Structure 1
Amino acid sequence: MPHLVIEYAENLEESISIPALVSAAQEAMHRSGLFAPHTIKTRAMPYRHFIAGEKGGSFIHAEVRLFEGRSERDRETLSSTVFNTLCQFAEGVPAVTVEVREIDSGCYSKRLPF
């Protein structure tokens, strides 16, 4: 179930392999040991128009969405693992952030395979 959504400044596509970033982030989620590999969904979304700080620099922001119930320690470790992975790709990127959000399972809908 976990979703990893990576938002980034579109201009980073000139210096970063976004497919490699997505693959590495997916692997980091798997390495956490918190999820079965087939349940992890990772995607990246570029932003063309943005302001990041006073100088308008580039950014990478990842949001991990998962169901409630993980310990604070697990969420912190997951955040750190994803953050460290993103930083490997982010030389010269002034803003790299990761946020872990819990989803209320009662408010989540999913279409199941036939």
Structure 2
Amino acid sequence: MPHIIIEHSASLQCDLTHLTQSIHQSTIETNLFDEQTIKTRRIAFAECILGDGKQDFVHIQVHLLVGRKQAQKQMLSEKLLNNLKSLLPESVSLSVHPYDLDPAIYRKN
């Protein structure tokens, strides 16, 4: 854990492999997780309408098992958002949201 899911508009113009690797590395650098447990993936959305008038977006979901302190989740969010800001122009809508997973119902193989 965690699962890092990078959602973005398909029209986003950047090196997407570098974006994925950079977000994965930033997650490692928080020292909140065992590096071997971090899973990062990326999903492109063919169509989107953004209320802020921007044409492209990147949204990062961070799925965590319950137990992280609020301050840890805030630090993680800030680190990932700052990384996005360094990689992408201001014309891209950016957001990050950690989610707690309930260990009573989460299953994995």
- TM bracket, shorter-chain basis: over 0.9
Counterpart position of 2:84: 86
1:57 is aligned with what amino acid? Answer: Q
Give the % identical residues: 28
Unaligned 5+ residue runs, structure 2?
A: none
1:20 is aligned with what amino acid? Answer: H
- What is the Cα deviation at residue 94 of structure 1? 3.4
Counterpart position of 1:63: 61
Q: TM-score, normalised by structure 1?
A: 0.90
Whole-angstrom CA distance in 2 between matches of 1:101 and 1:71: 12
**Deviating more after overlay: 89-98 vs 74-83:** 89-98
Which of the residues 46, 49, 52 maps onto 2:50? 52
Say which structure is richer in helix: 1
Distance 1:104 1:17, change over 3 A: same
The count of residues paired between Structure 1 and Structure 2 equals 109
Whole-angstrom CA distance in 2 between matches of 1:76 and 1:54: 24
RMSD in angstroms over aligned alpha carbons? 1.2
Counterpart position of 2:4: 4
Unaligned 5+ residue runs, structure 1?
A: none
Other structure's SS at 2:104 match: helix
